[in-house]
């Protein structure tokens, strides 16, 4: 049992000495500035109770008049050092600390339920020169820092994960000791002016490797190289963790699911498309939102689902679905202003209303918040395509596909990439993209009209008519409403180009 005196409290695995203003993890001091510690002290005075922003600003700054943004900065500092789960945002009000002042044993964040927890171990220096440990450590720290910005992960602090440096320990023991689901390990080898970084994502419960890759680069600018490799690793880790989390959620009974797992189950059904799966996905996402009212991501996913319904039915439910999407996206942002997916879906909802400038602004905010969010990149690319900037939009769309190669966003991003080719009158490229998309997702209805139009423009009439014929059984309600009137997000010139290709394909409209 761990005994605490009156001025100490546990915040998950952290010990906070209120009198000394010292936060420690496993006996190691967590480096924090004085103002961040003052904010933590105020929150700790009424742990479990919401503290308004005005109270926090008054007490932590001792009566000084400062802007609210200063508080946001210090909250971000605390979350970066401790992870996100201990300080909860109460929209429109303030913040609440999850903690206990009871004399009890040290409790760690559970590896079951809640968002995925991960530790980045110090990378091994496999070069001939042991003095180059600094680069290996720096590489691991770059990845850890970047992961800490991802609000969907609980990242163990450096002091804990780096305590394993130079020790040979089974990764499953590390997982139990740090109470994490995943571990990132790696190595760095320098040879001449070149460097190779190998990284692996490991399931800490089973010891199974989920993902392994290596990255090479020049040492001309060592810091830029660290940034580039960290960015590449993070881009690959996102889909790998997402897939592992969905598989984990599928192994649980619906009534046993926590908010995070219900959210993952919702995404799993959504990826399978079709009305039945979409209905089930909505149920799980609503369940996730109900289980944790502070969890913003289910609302962002619901917004995306409503937008999918709007376009899936060719505009039959456009107004209703887009209104629901915009409301859900705004709820996600109110719960977490830094939720990149919330901003992305809000941008798309505005796009569907034809408000392209506002839509692009939200999409760019999303990418700035998290350039490794495939939904953010896809949203930006789509808005650019439908704003008459198809060539420019191909960049973020390609990034979205690379970030989530087997997920929903890659499917939608590839569709918009093909649309962009069509709007640019590159009909051969449009046909190639749409045919590839249909091979991978034969039940995705939006590919068929664009494919038929592109084939029509190329005078491949038999193939074009076959695409038109195939569209009806996939989604009987899709094609007619799309061609009956111009959706708000289509420019007149692009819409007329689509109809022109469909007429050449044999459409009688």
Same domain, 318 and 450: yes
Neighbouring residues of 289: CB distance < 8 A, sequence distance ≥ 6? 259, 295, 298, 299, 302
Beta bridge partners of 191: 194
Residues 6 or more apart from 463 whose CB is under 8 A from it?
Answer: 455
Cα 389 from chain centre: 25
Where the chain has pLDDT below 70, the residues are: 1-6, 84, 91, 99-115, 131-132, 145, 148-153, 157-160, 221-223, 225-227, 230-232, 234-238, 240, 242-257, 260, 273, 311-318, 405-406, 474-481, 509
Q: For the chain, what is the domain count?
A: 3
Query: 127 near 191, Cβ under 8 Å?
Result: yes
DSSP states along 410-456: HHHHHHHHHHHHHHTT-HHHHHHHHHHHHHH-TT-TTHHHHHHHHHH
- Taking alpha carbons only, the member of 365, 350, 393, 344 closest to residue 494 is 393
Which phi and psi angles does 96 have, rounded to 5°? -135, 140
| CATH number, residue 79 | 1.10.10.10
Residue 288 Rama label (left phi>0; alpha psi -120 to 50; beta) = alpha
| CA 462/CA 311 separation, integer angstroms | 27
Range of the domain at 35: 8-97
Secondary structure (3-state) at 53: helix
Q: Pick the last residue of a domain from 249, 283, 307.
A: 249
pLDDT score for 111: 34
The CATH number covering residue 431 comes to 1.25.40.10
Q: Say if residue 370 is in the same domain as residue 482.
A: yes
Do residues 100 and 47 touch, judged by C-beta distance below 8 A? yes
Per the listing, tokens 């002290």 go with 41
Q: Is 90 exposed, middle or buried (0-12, 13-18, 19+ CB in 10 A)?
A: middle
What is the CB-side half-sphere exposure of residue 214 using CA atoms within 13 A? 8
426/394 Cα distance (integer angstroms): 13
Asked if the structure places residue 145 within a domain, the reply is yes
**Which one of 68, 97, 126 terminates a domain?**
97
What CATH number is given to the structural domain containing 233?
3.40.50.10610
Map tokens 């510690």 to a residue.
37
Is residue 290 domain-resident?
A: no
Query: Would you say residue 421 lies in a domain?
Result: yes
In a domain, 40, yes or no: yes
DSSP one-letter code for 273 = -
User: What is the pTM for the complete model shown?
Assistant: 0.59
Last residue in a domain, options 41, 68, 97? 97
Q: Are residues 338 and 463 in the same domain?
A: yes
- CA dist 344 and 347 (Å) reads 5
Structure tokens at 55: 């109270």
Distance (Å, rounded) from C-alpha 188 to C-alpha 121? 13
Closest CA to 52 of 95, 107, 112: 95
233 falls within a domain: yes
Q: What sign does the CA torsion over 366, 231, 389, 404 have? A: negative
pLDDT, position 110: 36
What lies within 8 Å, CB to CB, of 137 at 6+ separation is: 122, 123, 162, 165
**389 and 443 co-located in one domain:** yes
Q: What angle do CA 108, 112, 118 make, to 5 degrees?
A: 65
| Nearest of 171, 248, 236 to residue 205 by alpha carbon | 171
Contact 384, 355 (CB under 8 A): no
Instruction: Say how many Å lie between the first and final Cα of the chain, rounded.
Output: 77
What distance in Å separates the CA atoms of residue 235 and residue 373, rounded to the nearest whole number? Answer: 8
Q: Is residue 282 part of a domain?
A: no
Tell me which residue of 416, 430, 426, 399 sits closest to 490, measured CA to CA.
Answer: 416
**Does residue 2 lie within any of the structural domains?**
no
121: CB partners within 8 A, 6+ apart: 140, 161, 162, 164, 165, 174, 183, 184, 185, 186
Rounded Cα distance between 312 and 480, Å, is 12
């Amino acid at each position: 049992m761990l005994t605490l005196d009156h001025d100490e409290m546990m915040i998950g695995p952290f010990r906070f000495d209120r009198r000394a203003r010292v936060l420690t993890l496993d006996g190691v001091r967590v480096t924090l500035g004085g103002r961040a510690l003052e904010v933590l002290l105020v929150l700790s005075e009424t742990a479990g109770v919401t503290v308004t922003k005005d109270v926090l600003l008054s007490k932590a700054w001792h009566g000084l008049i400062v802007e609210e943004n200063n508080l946001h900065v210090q909250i971000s500092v605390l979350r970066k050092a401790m992870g996100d789960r201990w300080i909860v945002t109460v929209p429109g009000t303030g913040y609440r600390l999850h903690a206990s002042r009871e004399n009890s044993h040290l409790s760690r964040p559970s590896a079951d339920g809640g968002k995925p927890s991960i530790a980045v171990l110090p990378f091994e220096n496999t070069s001939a020169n042991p003095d180059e440990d600094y680069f290996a450590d720096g590489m691991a720290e770059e990845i850890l820092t970047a992961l800490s910005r991802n609000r969907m992960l609980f990242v163990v602090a450096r002091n804990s994960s780096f305590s394993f440096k130079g020790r040979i320990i089974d990764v499953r023991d590390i997982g139990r000791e740090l109470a994490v689901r995943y571990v990132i390990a790696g190595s760095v080898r320098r040879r001449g002016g070149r460097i190779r970084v190998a990284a692996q994502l490991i399931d800490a419960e089973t010891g199974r490797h989920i993902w392994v890759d290596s990255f090479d680069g020049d040492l001309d600018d060592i810091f830029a190289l660290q940034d580039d490799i960290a960015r590449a690793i993070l881009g690959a880790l996102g889909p790998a963790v997402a897939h592992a989390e969905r598989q984990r959620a599928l192994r649980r009974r619906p009534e046993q699911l926590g908010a995070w797992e219900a959210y993952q189950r919702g995404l799993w059904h959504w990826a399978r498309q079709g009305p039945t799966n979409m209905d089930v996905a909505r149920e799980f996402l609503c369940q996730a939102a109900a289980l944790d009212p502070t969890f913003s991501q289910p609302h962002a996913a619901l917004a995306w689902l409503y937008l999918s319904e709007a376009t899936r039915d060719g505009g039959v439910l456009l107004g209703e679905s887009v209104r629901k999407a915009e409301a859900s996206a705004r709820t996600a942002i109110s719960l977490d202003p830094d939720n990149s997916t919330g901003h992305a879906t809000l941008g798309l909802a505005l796009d569907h209303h034809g408000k392209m400038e506002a839509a692009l602004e939200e999409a760019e905010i999303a990418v700035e918040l998290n350039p490794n969010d495939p939904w953010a990149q896809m949203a930006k690319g789509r808005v650019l395509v439908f704003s008459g900037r198809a060539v420019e939009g191909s960049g973020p769309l390609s990034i979205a596909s690379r970030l989530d190669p087997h997920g929903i966003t890659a499917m939608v991003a590839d569709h918009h990439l093909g649309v962009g080719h069509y709007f640019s009158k590159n009909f051969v490229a449009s046909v190639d993209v749409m045919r590839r998309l249909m091979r991978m997702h034969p039940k995705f209805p939006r590919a068929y009209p664009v494919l038929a139009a592109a084939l029509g423009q190329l005078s491949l009439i038999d193939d074009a008519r076959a695409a038109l014929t195939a569209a009806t059984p996939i989604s009987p309600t899709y094609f007619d409403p799309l061609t009956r009137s111009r959706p708000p997000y289509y420019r007149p010139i692009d819409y007329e180009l689509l109809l022109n290709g469909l007429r050449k394909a044999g459409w009688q409209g």
